[in-house]
Chain A
């Protein structure tokens, strides 16, 4: 019932709507407000963070949040599941590491090239893979992630194999980026930019086209949307962004192992999207924050940690199936009425 109300309400108020100029202003305010708020939050964290460990957690959350936003565009908006995103993360991480440590490239160039490479790979495999639906798409992306994981763990001469590989500290304009405090601002800036772009994207024609993909293909096609092109395009963008953050994470931590490419990592990324709220840009940020912090908060429980972690996730999904942010927003709206 409430859903119907929502759908009907704007339509009813439309005829007596405000003049277009004012509406436009309100629209851009609506879009900018949360971005400014996130910017403020990012600026405030260092003030309340007590130690380098807090900053480290903040950096990890930032990295995961960008990936969750990019994954949410694919999963939450376009309705295409990917269980292989950790593979793209690993392409970014290992691409940057291999190009800089083994071939002496400047790390930032390596980072750029490997992000683009991940995007191209997604583009190339996207066309056949994204024709699949539901479980089949999940299996195909899972397979892609597994292949990347296996290549990384087996090509010891190139990747160091299961023992991992280290990267040297990144220096930009003579500044050694050797602490979480410094990386925080870089990751924060990327997060803010991604957040702003994602919010704009979902309200733009592309965003509407993406949302149409979630429904029946025939319906989207009849609305004049190039289904295949739109799916492949968002898959490639999402993969490139994920690879970029994988590379940033590798440069930040200075040490990478194939573990970061494995299936569980992909599941965690999907979890961030689902927990925070599918189809909610801010939800992805919240989801990333929770999934990254929860295991750390629960460490004091020792051996019950995994158990409590699982129970919390189950409870959230049972009582808030749409995810934390959409459900909370809905509850507050209902309360206001």
Chain B
């Protein structure tokens, strides 16, 4: 009898727990807010391997929303930011996008910082007809065209184009590729090979790779050094490993100059690589070299203003990825102003009519068939590291 009693209790307990489990889903609602605010959702990759992208974007967007609200907001309404961190996890990014559109009922979403996370969110954007503005930059985001997805950074093809132009101009026609097997490195390597085949003036004579997490690339660089044809070494990667490549490159005394991809463009890079980074070349967004820009550059005034603002609040200098956050919000707010409403369709139409909008990274132009903000000329500038600083070069 006792046993039966126990079992009955067990099943009662079970039932209570089950009910609680069901209820708790219902209770998970967010705090309600003033109805008249314009709600913008933001998803950034602020933790995990992609954190150096997302953290910069998150800080910038928060700062700029505060600033805009002090100036009266948009459409006479305050902007309310709903921010989530996707932790470099595409599944999570998708859940958060779902949450933003159905639970928080935002008018527009800015995010995320990396390509897979954006792709994972784009589908939800299309289904729920909410515009999504991404701060990631691979070609796959805009080809094929996704009707509700707009992209801020220029894609990897254009960015590598700037590097290839520089190589061709200086007659460095035979190059060695050294790329990471991570998502970014792999995509960039493919783009580089395609670009080389298409242009014909820059030939890939060596093609080496290393795995994410490797701490020494001397073996690959030694093979490159022993290849007499190589006139320049191109490293395609982001994060900390390019600094290791730079140190190995210097330690081995390789004469061929080192080129790095634009994703390495942060003040942290020369810091990590130390004196070895002297002479390394990479294309950087305007924000990195704002002092050296000619006054005629459309983005200069805005970039200087933003830099001062950012330095006041966070006591550090903004770099390229801060710029993508700034421009993402700028493009969004501009569209809301012109649409005069927060309706999804109206916002999408307004976004597609964005013309000559100067941001801190460059000028933005979108159309019904161009969601990549392409401009005829790249917005990046070729620089060389001199005394630990990014210096613009021809």
Name A residues whose Cβ lies closer than 8 Å to a Cβ of B: 9-10, 13, 26, 30, 33-34, 37-38, 40-41, 44-45, 48-54, 56-58, 60-61, 153-154, 156, 161-164, 166, 178, 180, 253-255, 257, 259-260, 282, 285-286, 289, 293, 295-297, 299-300, 302-303, 305-306, 325, 328-329, 332-333, 336
Q: A33-B11, A37-B11, A296-B95 are in contact. Are A282 and B17 (CB under 8 A)?
A: yes
Among B3, B4, B15, B187, point to the contact of A37 (Cβ < 8 A).
Answer: B15
Shortest distance in angstroms between B187's beta carbon and chain A's nearest beta carbon?
7
Are B18 and A306 neighbours in the complex by a CB distance under 8 Å? no
Q: Mark B43-55, 1 if CB is under 8 A from A, else 0.
A: 0001100000000
Task: A52-B98, A295-B92 given; name 16 further pairs at CB < 8 Å.
Answer: A13-B2, A37-B14, A40-B18, A48-B25, A56-B99, A56-B102, A163-B119, A164-B120, A166-B123, A259-B90, A282-B14, A306-B47, A328-B13, A328-B17, A329-B13, A336-B9
Q: Can you list 16 A-B pairs, Cβ within 8 angstroms, ordered by A?
A: A13-B1, A13-B2, A26-B4, A26-B7, A34-B11, A48-B23, A49-B25, A50-B103, A54-B26, A56-B95, A56-B98, A163-B138, A255-B90, A259-B116, A293-B24, A299-B85
Are B26 and A48 neighbours in the complex by a CB distance under 8 Å? yes
Interface residues of B in 66-105 (CB under 8 A from A): 83-85, 88-92, 94-96, 98-99, 102-103
Any chain A CB within 8 A of the CB of B28? yes
Binds A, one of B178-186, B192-200, B214-222, B231-239: B178-186
Among B13, B19, B102, B183, point to the contact of A332 (Cβ < 8 A).
Answer: B13
Main secondary structure of the interface of B (DSSP, over half): helix
Any chain A CB within 8 A of the CB of B29? yes
Contacting residues, chain B, for A299 (C-beta < 8 A)? 84-85, 96
Any chain A CB within 8 A of the CB of B6? yes
Are B18 and A37 neighbours in the complex by a CB distance under 8 Å? yes
Q: Cα distance A48–B116 when bound, in Å?
A: 33
Q: A37-B14, A52-B102, A333-B9 are in contact. Are A163 and B187 (CB under 8 A)?
A: yes
- Residue on A with the closest CB to B92? A295
Q: Cα distance A164–B141 when bound, in Å?
A: 12
Shortest distance in angstroms between B42's beta carbon and chain A's nearest beta carbon?
12
Any chain A CB within 8 A of the CB of B140? yes
Contacting residues, chain B, for A58 (C-beta < 8 A)? 25
- Residue on B with the closest CB to A260? B91
Are B26 and A257 neighbours in the complex by a CB distance under 8 Å? no
Contacting residues, chain A, for B3 (C-beta < 8 A)? 9-10, 13
Q: A45-B22, A163-B140, A299-B84 are in contact. Are A254 and B123 (CB under 8 A)?
A: yes
Any chain A CB within 8 A of the CB of B115? yes
Contacting residues, chain B, for A26 (C-beta < 8 A)? 4, 7
Contacting residues, chain B, for A166 (C-beta < 8 A)? 119, 123
Contacting residues, chain B, for A45 (C-beta < 8 A)? 22, 25-26
Among A162, A260, A303, A336, point to the contact of B182 (Cβ < 8 A).
Answer: A162
Are B25 and A164 neighbours in the complex by a CB distance under 8 Å? no
Contacting residues, chain B, for A293 (C-beta < 8 A)? 24-25, 28
A-B residue pairs, 7 tightest by C-beta: A162-B183, A48-B26, A52-B102, A53-B103, A257-B90, A41-B18, A53-B102
Among A40, A48, A54, A156, point to the contact of B186 (Cβ < 8 A).
Answer: A156
Any chain A CB within 8 A of the CB of B315? no
Among A30, A50, A328, point to the contact of B26 (Cβ < 8 A).
Answer: A50
Any chain A CB within 8 A of the CB of B10? yes
Interface residues of B in 118-146 (CB under 8 A from A): 119-120, 123, 127, 138, 140
- Residue on B with the closest CB to A249? B91
Are A164 and B4 neighbours in the complex by a CB distance under 8 Å? no
Are A286 and B11 neighbours in the complex by a CB distance under 8 Å? no
Shortest distance in angstroms between B253's beta carbon and chain A's nearest beta carbon?
33
Q: A45-B25, A178-B127, A260-B91 are in contact. Are A162 and B11 (CB under 8 A)?
A: no
Q: Cα distance A333–B11 when bound, in Å?
A: 11
Shortest distance in angstroms between A185's beta carbon and chain B's nearest beta carbon?
15
- Residue on B with the closest CB to A45? B22
Are A161 and B11 neighbours in the complex by a CB distance under 8 Å? no
Are A57 and B28 neighbours in the complex by a CB distance under 8 Å? yes
Are A164 and B14 neighbours in the complex by a CB distance under 8 Å? no
Contacting residues, chain B, for A332 (C-beta < 8 A)? 9, 13
Q: A293-B24, A302-B85 are in contact. Are A51 and B103 (CB under 8 A)?
A: yes
Q: Cα distance A44–B17 when bound, in Å?
A: 14
Q: Mark B198-237, 1 if CB is under 8 A from A, else 0.
A: 0000000000000000000000000000000000000000
Q: Cα distance A166–B121 when bound, in Å?
A: 11
Shortest distance in angstroms between A159's beta carbon and chain B's nearest beta carbon?
12
Contacting residues, chain A, for B85 (C-beta < 8 A)? 299, 302-303, 305
Among B17, B119, B127, point to the contact of A286 (Cβ < 8 A).
Answer: B17
Contacting residues, chain B, for A60 (C-beta < 8 A)? 95
Q: A30-B7, A49-B26 are in contact. Are A255 and B95 (CB under 8 A)?
A: no
Q: Cα distance A9–B5 when bound, in Å?
A: 12
Interface residues of B in 25-44 (CB under 8 A from A): 25-26, 28-30
Shortest distance in angstroms between B346's beta carbon and chain A's nearest beta carbon?
22
Are A329 and B10 neighbours in the complex by a CB distance under 8 Å? yes
- Residue on A with the closest CB to B183? A162
Q: Cα distance A38–B7 when bound, in Å?
A: 17
Shortest distance in angstroms between B28's beta carbon and chain A's nearest beta carbon?
6
Contacting residues, chain B, for A38 (C-beta < 8 A)? 18
Q: A49-B25, A57-B28, A333-B9 are in contact. Are A162 and B186 (CB under 8 A)?
A: yes
Among B1, B25, B119, B187, point to the contact of A54 (Cβ < 8 A).
Answer: B25
Q: Cα distance A58–B181 when bound, in Å?
A: 36
Q: Cα distance A48–B20 when bound, in Å?
A: 12
- The residue among B1, B18, B28 with the most chain A CB atoms within 10 A of its own CB is B18
Q: Cα distance A54–B115 when bound, in Å?
A: 26
Q: Cα distance A44–B21 when bound, in Å?
A: 11
Shortest distance in angstroms between B337's beta carbon and chain A's nearest beta carbon?
29
Are B95 and A163 neighbours in the complex by a CB distance under 8 Å? no
Contacting residues, chain B, for A49 (C-beta < 8 A)? 25-26
Q: Cα distance A163–B191 when bound, in Å?
A: 14
Q: Cα distance A134–B28 when bound, in Å?
A: 39
Contacting residues, chain A, for B98 (C-beta < 8 A)? 52-53, 56, 180
Are B2 and A259 neighbours in the complex by a CB distance under 8 Å? no
Shortest distance in angstroms between A272's beta carbon and chain B's nearest beta carbon?
13
Are A289 and B2 neighbours in the complex by a CB distance under 8 Å? no
Are A259 and B89 neighbours in the complex by a CB distance under 8 Å? yes
Are A286 and B21 neighbours in the complex by a CB distance under 8 Å? yes
Interface residues of B in 128-178 (CB under 8 A from A): 138, 140
Q: Cα distance A333–B14 when bound, in Å?
A: 12
